[in-house]
């Protein structure tokens, strides 16, 4: 866990046994276990905090992409609507021109038939 192998741990336990005596090993081991557990908990919370921050950044990036995509889609739809409106106006103008030409074509032939008869 902390880069301590079996032999290093055995040497530490032997040293504590020699210095403190066998009757103090139990409470020292429990205290050491509690300290390691608390340290592990602190490290895990620290990791969780960074993971949450990373997830928040990912969500913000995704939100930004979605907003940009929606904005681009709305702009494209608006452009298409403007183009559609412009095309509709051109078609209406063409229809009016065709109707005017048809009226001009029909009038001379109608008036020409009436003069001949």
Where does residue 91 fall: left (phi above 0), alpha (psi -120 to 50 degrees), or beta otherwise? alpha
pLDDT tens-digit readout, 24-37: 778 877 888 898 89
Tell me the average pLDDT of the chain: 81
Confirm if 20 and 28 have CB atoms less than 8 A apart.
Answer: yes
Q: Where are the domains of the chain?
A: 6-110
CA separation (Å) from 81 to 10, 70, 85, 88?
80, 16, 6, 10
Give the per-residue pLDDT at 38: 93
Confidence of residue 117 (pLDDT cuts 50, 70, 90): very low
What percent of the chain clears pLDDT 70, i.e. is strictly above it? 88
């Amino acid at each position: 866990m902390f880069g301590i192998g079996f032999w290093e741990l055995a040497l530490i336990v032997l040293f504590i046994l020699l210095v403190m005596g066998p009757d103090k090993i139990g409470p020292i081991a429990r205290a050491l276990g509690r300290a390691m557990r608390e340290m592990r908990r602190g490290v895990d919370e620290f990791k969780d905090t960074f993971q949450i921050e990373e997830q928040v950044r990912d969500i913000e990036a995704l939100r930004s992409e979605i907003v940009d995509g929606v904005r681009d889609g709305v702009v494209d739809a608006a452009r298409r609507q403007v183009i559609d409106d412009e095309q509709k106006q051109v078609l209406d103008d063409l229809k009016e021109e065709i109707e005017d030409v048809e009226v001009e074509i029909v009038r001379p032939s109608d008036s020409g038939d009436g003069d001949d008869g």
